[in-house]
Amino acid sequence: MAHSRHYLMCRPDHFAVEYAINPWMDPSKGADAATAVRQWERLKETYEELGHRVSLIDPIDGLPDMVFAANGALVVGGRVYGARFATAERAAEGPAYLRWFTENGFAPVMEPTVTNEGEGDFLVLDEVVLAGTGFRTEIAAHQEAQEFLGRPVVTLRLVDPCYYHLDTALFPIDGRNVAYYPGAFSPGSRDVLRRMFPDAVIAGPDDAAVLGLNAVSDGHNVIVNVEAADLSLELKRRGLNVIPVDLSELRKAGGGPKCCTLEIRP
Ligand code: ARG
């Protein structure tokens, strides 16, 4: 069922591509913060038009990737499992997001003991949390999150550096089903996905390559990169309301709509 969501976002005032920590980033080409802000504003308005609530965290100068709020934490049942970034370039974001949750009255807020990049690698369904590993988040964090949240966590292994976070290769359509790009996963994890989600939407390489799987669904409306043509068609065929967005500037850093969006689950 679609219902109103609560999202945390971070305006890309200081957005830039000045280092490369994934294959999408090319510092010699850079990126334009003003364009990113315009595209991001449209995404935020889209959520608000759908009746979702958007909270904002202040962007910090010198943290150009902070716009990718999904990486800031994992929030389930009001419990906040903090992030610990894999790269030095983003390390300061972990404490910044933790501070936001503490200052806004969330409890408990847990500082993680192992590397994990929040909702970039943890995707929440009704009965289970799917968790990526291979590039950023360590398996030990999957176990730590399971213990802290009291939800079963299923490990999935990512194998393609272009799909370095789980949310670049898979998104929950609703609490029970997902869409994903099989090429991003190890053979064993592909089998796991096939067993768990026999009715999944299977995306091809073209949709994956425009970060089409980095989508946000409320169970009825799916916000997806405008270039993901085949995927959008299939989602519509299944009765979903597809809302295309243009986040081409943010894609230069390897991010799409989901990366910009941290869901706060009460
Ligand atoms: N440049 C950022 C990084 O490589 C992009 C993060 C995208 N976020 C996400 N949830 N996939 O860390």
- Is the C-beta atom of 254 inside 6 A of ligand 1? yes
ipTM of the complex: 0.97
Which residue is associated with the tokens 């910009």? 260
Assigned token pair, 266: 């009460």
Evaluate whether residue 236 is within a structural domain: yes
Evaluate whether residue 1 is within a structural domain: no
Q: How many domains does the chain have?
A: 1
Evaluate whether residue 72 is within a structural domain: yes
Could you confirm whether 259 is annotated as catalytic? yes
What are the tens digits of pLDDT across the range 176-205? 999 999 999 999 999 999 999 999 999 999
Catalytic residue among 162, 165, 220, 260: 165
What are the tens digits of pLDDT across the range 80-133? 999 999 999 999 999 999 999 999 999 999 999 999 999 999 999 999 999 999
- The sign of the CA dihedral 29, 38, 61, 114 is negative
Compute the radius of gyration of the chain from its Cα atoms. Answer: 17
Taking the complete model, does pTM exceed 0.95, yes or no? yes
Evaluate whether residue 40 is within a structural domain: yes
Q: Whose CA is nearest to atom 7 of ligand 1?
A: 255
- Is the C-beta atom of 17 inside 6 A of ligand 1? no
Rounded Cα gap, residues 196 and 193, in angstroms: 5
Query: For the domain that residue 203 is a member of, what is the CATH number?
Result: 3.75.10.10
Structural domain that includes position 50: 6-263
Evaluate whether residue 257 is within a structural domain: yes
Count CA atoms within 13 Å of residue 244 on its CB side: 13
- Is the C-beta atom of 255 inside 6 A of ligand 1? yes
Which CA distances in Å does 150 have to 76, 147, 237? 10, 5, 35
